[in-house]
């Protein structure tokens, strides 16, 4: 994978971006002026990121991830969070009941959309092919297993798995000690 240069990142027109940002030249950004990126972030090949998105520090978005927000909703990745390949986070959904029309080619007055912000908390990891629905905040320390569907907010420091995702066990907090060591070494 080829990484964008500092100049190329600057030309994208992000709201803000930090230091040590690695972005694949195959990633796509919609409305980059609404996207903030922190320090030590890596965005891999074929990621699609759109609209109101905040990516804090030490975040990794693996290949083929989609992070799709909308007006009226924010998707936020807090420090030390990340997604494995082919994960999707949505902050908006259409009404599928048949009472309204759907899809972006239709004028808004015929649609019913419900934007809901999503936060991926500190030290969260989302497993391969998982989907996070609007409003399904992922609490600090949560791990979501592969191919899970998260439809509502999680509890902190739990491991979730399934369709729909359910807590299956507690998650160790040992990584908080590792974070302290990392930050001590980094800040030297």
* % of the chain exceeding 70 in pLDDT: 99
Residue 163 within any structural domain of the chain: yes
Q: Has residue 126 been placed in a domain?
A: yes
Whether 77 and 65 have beta carbons less than 8 Å apart is answered as no
Q: Where are the alpha helices (DSSP H) in the chain?
A: 6-12, 174-187
- pLDDT 10s digits, 114-163: 899 999 999 999 999 999 999 999 999 999 999 999 999 999 999 999 99
Strand 158-161 relative to strand 166-170: parallel, antiparallel, unpaired?
Answer: antiparallel
Closest CA to 45 of 17, 13, 70, 22: 22
- Domain of residue 18 covers 6-187
Please give the model's pTM, rounded to 2 decimal places: 0.95
Structural domain tally of the chain? 1
Whether 1 shows a pLDDT value over 90: the answer reads: no
| 138 in a structural domain | yes
- Chain segment 97-114, per-residue pLDDT in tens: 999 999 889 999 999 998
Domain assignment present for residue 1? The answer is: no
Q: Residue 111 belongs to a domain with what CATH number?
A: 2.160.10.10
Distance, CA of 67 to CA of 82 (rounded, Å)? 12
Residue 79 counted as domain residue? yes
Q: Residue 11: name the closest of 69, 71, 29 by CA.
A: 29
């Amino acid at each position: 994978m080829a990484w964008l240069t500092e100049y190329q990142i600057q030309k994208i027109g992000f709201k803000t971006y930090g230091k040590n940002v690695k972005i694949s030249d195959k990633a796509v950004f919609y409305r980059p002026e609404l996207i903030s990126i922190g320090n030590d972030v890596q965005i891999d090949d074929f990621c699609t990121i759109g609209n109101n998105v905040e990516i804090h520090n030490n975040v990794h978005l693996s290949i083929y991830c989609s992070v799709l927000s909308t007006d009226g909703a924010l998707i936020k990745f807090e420090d030390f969070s990340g997604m494995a390949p082919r994960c999707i986070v949505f902050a908006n959904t259409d009404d599928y009941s048949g009472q309204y029309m759907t899809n972006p080619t239709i004028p808004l007055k015929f649609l019913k959309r419900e934007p809901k912000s999503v936060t991926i908390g500190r030290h969260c990891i989302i497993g391969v092919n998982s989907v996070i629905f609007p409003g399904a905040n992922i609490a600090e320390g949560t791990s979501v297993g592969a191919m899970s569907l998260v439809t509502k907010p999680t509890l902190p420091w739990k491991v979730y798995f399934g369709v729909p995702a359910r807590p299956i066990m507690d998650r160790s907090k040992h990584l908080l000690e590792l974070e302290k060591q990392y930050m001590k070494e980094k800040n030297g």
